[in-house]
Amino acid sequence: MAYLKLSTNTVKKSISAHRSIALAIAALLYLTCLTGTLSVFFEEFQRWEQPNIEESTDYTPTQIQTAIQGFQQRVSQMPETLWVVLPTEAVPRMHISGDGQEWFINRDGHLSVPPQEPWTTMLTKLHVQLHLPQNIGLILVGILGVLLFGLIFSGLLSHPNIFKDAFRWRRGRQALTQVDLHNRLSIWALPFYLMISFTGAFIGLIGLFSFIAGAAFYDNDNEALLDDIYGGDPEISIASVNLDIDKAFNTLESMAPEAKPIYLAIQNLGTDKQYFEIAATLPQRLIYSEIYRFHGDGSLINHQQFSDGAVGRQIAYSVYRLHFGHYAGQWVKVIYGLLGLALSVICVSGINIWLAQRKHESALNDLWVAIVWGLPLALAFSALLSFYHWEPLWVFLSTEFIAVIFALLMKQAHKTRWILMACLTVTLLIIVFMREVLNLNESVPSIFHLVNLIVLVVSLILGTMLFLKRKHCRT
């Protein structure tokens, strides 16, 4: 159908609902979309932020054993769960962690330096939980996912001809251009936006749903509920204080030769109740991993059936990769990044349309400019200063606060926009220059230079936009 057959009253109510939801969550939704777009590439940012780490996709059981022994020597008390994250094509680095203590692992198995990725950590926490306490932040972001779904649905009902006008583009008048940009981007990637809103809501609200379901059906035993969803702890029938990781890898290779291990989780290390798990990805599957469990002597216990168990369990364990695009190589991540950027533009253009329709300017215009261009500036500036050991979250918050105050004092939205864009352009250029200079004589991975190149290209695009908008700045 080229258009939706809706009554005038339905369209009016849909427009009102669409506008009300958008105005209520505009800033938080834009922040979530922007940080989500960047978070798709958190693995690349980790390697870019700390480039001087030994990299290799190869590893051996002996290397892992040496690392475990090194970890035991460095800590006063062993954690209940010890994690050994194995190298992959995306992140060819190995590290070991437990109870907040973490080190990279060299090729000889000895421990190297701790991970230092403060900006990437801040970025992902902003997206996942808005840097609020975990439960509160996750629920709030989940609610944003639900509201985004509502925005998409009400937007469709607000425009009966949206499919018919999918390629309509009017130039000349800024307001009409904003409307067409908003509507075209909204319809071209509609399935993606629906998927992102649904999976985001699921990730954010699964804890709340578990709490409610546990109270209603499990007599407040949330652990029993999670066991039914993800599988409970195994029964240990063979006591062993030694770890035969080599035997476990050989067993895994014989039973699932296509599986690619991504981490080990060693439970109750050094006790007669110890066992370990090998998580591995499977080709052509969206599940985060299948988890294979082994006794300390390397004999198989079972697998958690994320790949061949109940459909609900498979779906629940597939949401993460589907939401972040980590399931089919680098090009899928690039597509996710572009579509995430489009969703961010939709957020901005929607509010721009409403502001233009008011026929007058107020402090809201200045505040919105400070949000739209202040947030990327705050992200860039916090990245720059994090290289000099400044706390990125406080730099981010301080920069955005200054941008808001500056915009409200300036009271000229066009000029404020130009100045903030100029600051962002310069900051990005400085980042590229400083990163390359500081690592001029160091051995760094190619992804380090690629990220710097992309940042440089973005700064040049912004510089071109600044040149084209220079007349608006003078008025």
What distance in Å separates the CA atoms of residue 292 and residue 216, rounded to the nearest whole number?
31
Q: Which amino acid is at 198?
A: F
Of 221 and 451, which is predicted with more confidence?
A: 451
Nearest one of 222, 224, 190 to 208, comparing CA atoms:
222
What distance in Å separates the CA atoms of residue 71 and residue 78, rounded to the nearest whole number?
9
What distance in Å separates the CA atoms of residue 27 and residue 134, rounded to the nearest whole number?
20
Which pLDDT value is given to residue 475? 47
Nearest one of 336, 339, 418, 354 to 26, comparing CA atoms:
354
Residues 6+ apart with CB under 8 A from 434: 384, 387
Residues 6+ apart with CB under 8 A from 62: 109, 246
Of 445 and 213, which is predicted with more confidence?
A: 445
Of 218 and 197, which is predicted with more confidence?
A: 197
How large is the average pLDDT for residues 443-471? 92
How large is the average pLDDT for residues 72-86? 94
User: Is the confidence at residue 472, as pLDDT, over 60?
Assistant: no
What does the H/E/C string look like for the chain? CCCCCCCHHHHHHHHHHHHHHHHHHHHHHHHHHHHHHHHCCHHHHHHHHCCCCCCCCCCCHHHHHHHHHHHHHHCCCCCCEEEEECCCCCCCCCEEEECCEEEEECCCCCECCCCCCHHHHHHHHHHHHCCCCHHHHHHHHHHHHHHHHHHHHHHHHHCCCCCCCCCCCCCCCHHHHHHHHHHHHHHHCHHHHHHHHHHHHHHHHHHHHHHHHHHHHCCCCHHHHHHHHHCCCCCCCCCCCCCCHHHHHHHHHHHCCCCEEEEEEEECCCCCCCEEEEEEECCCCCCCCEEEEEECCCCEEEECCCCCCCHHHHHHCCHHHHHHCCCCCHHHHHHHHHHHHHHHHHHHHHHHHHHHHCCCCCHHHHHHHHHHHHHHHHHHHHHHHHCCCCCHHHHHHHHHHHHHHHHHHHCCHHHHHHHHHHHHHHHHHHHHHHHHHHCCCCCCCHHHHHHHHHHHHHHHHHHHHHHHCHHHHHC
Beta-bridge partner residues of 265 = 83, 277
pLDDT tens across 302-354, in order?
998 889 888 888 888 899 999 999 998 899 999 999 999 999 999 999 999 89
Nearest one of 25, 3, 134, 126 to 378, comparing CA atoms:
126
Q: Which residue has the tokens 């009554």?
A: 7
What distance in Å separates the CA atoms of residue 85 and residue 90, rounded to the nearest whole number?
13
Which pLDDT band holds residue 220 (cuts at 50, 70, 90)? confident
Which pLDDT value is given to residue 164? 65
What distance in Å separates the CA atoms of residue 92 and residue 444, rounded to the nearest whole number?
13
pLDDT tens across 362-400, in order?
999 999 999 999 999 999 999 999 999 999 999 999 999
- The answer to whether the CB of 119 falls within 8 A of the CB of 382 is yes
Which pLDDT value is given to residue 253? 95
The number of residues in the chain equals 475
User: Is the confidence at residue 237, as pLDDT, over 60?
Assistant: yes
pTM for the model: 0.92
Which pLDDT band holds residue 141 (cuts at 50, 70, 90)? very high
Nearest one of 367, 366, 361, 395 to 381, comparing CA atoms:
395
Domain boundaries, the chain: 51-115, 360-467
User: Is the confidence at residue 48, as pLDDT, over 60?
Assistant: yes
Of 241 and 32, which is predicted with more confidence?
A: 32
Lowest-confidence segment of 29-43, 199-213, 359-373, 383-397 by average pLDDT: 199-213
- The answer to whether the CB of 63 falls within 8 A of the CB of 104 is no
pLDDT tens across 155-186, in order?
888 776 666 666 666 665 566 677 778 888 88
What distance in Å separates the CA atoms of residue 253 and residue 352, rounded to the nearest whole number?
56
What distance in Å separates the CA atoms of residue 300 and residue 346, rounded to the nearest whole number?
50
**Cα torsion angle, 434, 439, 441, 447, sign:** negative
Which pLDDT band holds residue 2 (cuts at 50, 70, 90)? very low
What distance in Å separates the CA atoms of residue 293 and residue 233, rounded to the nearest whole number?
10
User: Is the confidence at residue 5, as pLDDT, over 90?
Assistant: no
The pair of three-digit structure tokens given for residue 471, joined into one six-digit string: 């007349």
N-term to C-term CA, the chain: 46
- Give Dmax over CA atoms of the chain in angstroms: 79
User: Is the confidence at residue 1, as pLDDT, over 50?
Assistant: no
Radius of gyration of the chain (CA): 25
Average pLDDT, the chain: 90
pLDDT tens across 86-116, in order?
999 999 999 999 999 999 999 999 999 999 9
Nearest one of 395, 383, 390 to 458, comparing CA atoms:
383
